[in-house]
Amino acid sequence: MTKREKNRMTGCPVAYGLDTFGDRWSLLIIRDMMLHGKKTYGDFLNADEHISTNILADRLKHLEAEGIIEKFQDPDNRRSFIYTLTEKGFDLAPVIFETIRWSGRHIKLNKERKALLYRIDTDRKGFLNDIRSGRV
Amino acid sequence: MTKREKNRMTGCPVAYGLDTFGDRWSLLIIRDMMLHGKKTYGDFLNADEHISTNILADRLKHLEAEGIIEKFQDPDNRRSFIYTLTEKGFDLAPVIFETIRWSGRHIKLNKERKALLYRIDTDRKGFLNDIRSGRV
């Protein structure tokens, strides 16, 4: 039994969450899909944080196995894949939102990020709808 | 410059949050302080997830450096230390709450954890007050 499986067996919802989505790279990939409209391996690779290819491949596999993301063949380019969030993945929006709110109290945000925080604070429901319908 | 420092420089509030509290062990320590009244090195060591002593020592040091927790000499036992959450640490409650809510939709919770989730859903403010005043 791996350490991860052992931890899940404690039944703690915090531990389960952390084992499923809570390593930093996984949540950054989810952020990119949720807030930046990123969909392809190349998109994720180009994030500001410079994820390495082997970590990216590993995390995409993990998130797919956990049912957080789904992988489809790109209808426009059969050699390429598109990743989308599942319901279980979209459900993570409040965790991302609260992380942003917390950071917003402790670091200086640029104009664009202040606008994001403002939307989370004043129109959370509308923002969630836009995320789910791909309008972000 | 370390990878962590580089990531912080992107200014992304999600990346900042993850770098500060978002490795699984850090958030489990914060959970133990916030929800289970744990205060000492020995308390954290005895968590269900069996954190190793070297990881625990490293994460406590990191969380203290980040201003999430504070370390005091135990007035009752001068050879021992007590750890408490700072304001910045208590501020993480919504992130923990949303992680619990998310997990509550995807795994079976026992009775005690269902009660915790119910309180988060129905009396978030009162629960936060109890956490801050050490009544949890």
Per-residue pLDDT averaged across B55-60, rounded?
Answer: 95
Q: Which of B107, B82, B95, B79 is nearest to B21 (CA)?
A: B95
pLDDT of residue A3: 55
Confidence class of residue A8 from pLDDT cuts 50, 70 and 90? low
To the nearest whole angstrom, how far is the Cα of A76 from the nearest Cα of chain B? 32
Q: Which residues constitute the domain of residue B32?
A: 1-86
Residue A135 CA to residue B33 CA, distance in Å, equals: 39
Domain co-membership, A17 together with A82: yes
Confidence class of residue A117 from pLDDT cuts 50, 70 and 90? very high
B97 pLDDT higher than 60: yes
Residue A47 CA to residue A39 CA, distance in Å, equals: 12
pLDDT of residue B4: 56
Least confident of A41-45, A94-98, B24-28: B24-28
Domain co-membership, A116 together with A99: yes
Confidence class of residue B2 from pLDDT cuts 50, 70 and 90? low
B49 pLDDT higher than 60: yes
Domain co-membership, A73 together with A97: no
To the nearest whole angstrom, how far is the Cα of A72 from the nearest Cα of chain B? 23
Domain co-membership, A23 together with A75: yes
Neighbours of B46 (CB within 10 A): 12
Report the CATH number at residue A55. 1.10.10.10
Least confident of B10-14, B88-92, B115-119: B10-14
Q: Evaluate whether residue A54 is within a structural domain.
A: yes
pLDDT of residue A96: 95
Per-residue pLDDT averaged across B66-77, rounded?
Answer: 93
Domain co-membership, A110 together with A59: no
Domain co-membership, A39 together with A104: no
pLDDT of residue B1: 45
ipTM associated with this complex: 0.89
Domain co-membership, B17 together with B82: yes
Domain co-membership, B49 together with B113: no
Q: Evaluate whether residue A111 is within a structural domain.
A: yes
Domain co-membership, B119 together with B136: yes
Final residue belonging to a domain, choices B86, B110, B126: B86
The DSSP result for B32-95, as a single string, is HHHHS---SHHHHHTSTT---HHHHHHHHHHHHHTTSEEEEE-TT-TT-EEEEE-HHHHTTHHH
pLDDT of residue A17: 87
Confidence class of residue B43 from pLDDT cuts 50, 70 and 90? very high
Query: Nearest-CA residue of chain A relative to B35?
Result: A14
Cβ contact (<8 Å) for B7 and A49? yes
Q: Evaluate whether residue A63 is within a structural domain.
A: yes
Cβ contact (<8 Å) for A6 and B50? yes
Final residue belonging to a domain, choices B86, B102, B120: B86
Q: Long-range CB contacts (< 8 A, 24+ apart) of B121-126? A: B124/B97
Domain co-membership, A79 together with A31: yes
To the nearest whole angstrom, how far is the Cα of A125 from the nearest Cα of chain B? 15
Domain co-membership, A107 together with A129: yes
Using the structure block, give the residue that is written with the tokens 């606008």. A115
Total residue length of chain B: 136
Domain co-membership, B70 together with B118: no
pTM for this prediction: 0.90
Number of domains in chain A: 2
Set of chain A residues whose Cβ sits within 8 Å of the Cβ of B98: 94-95, 97-98
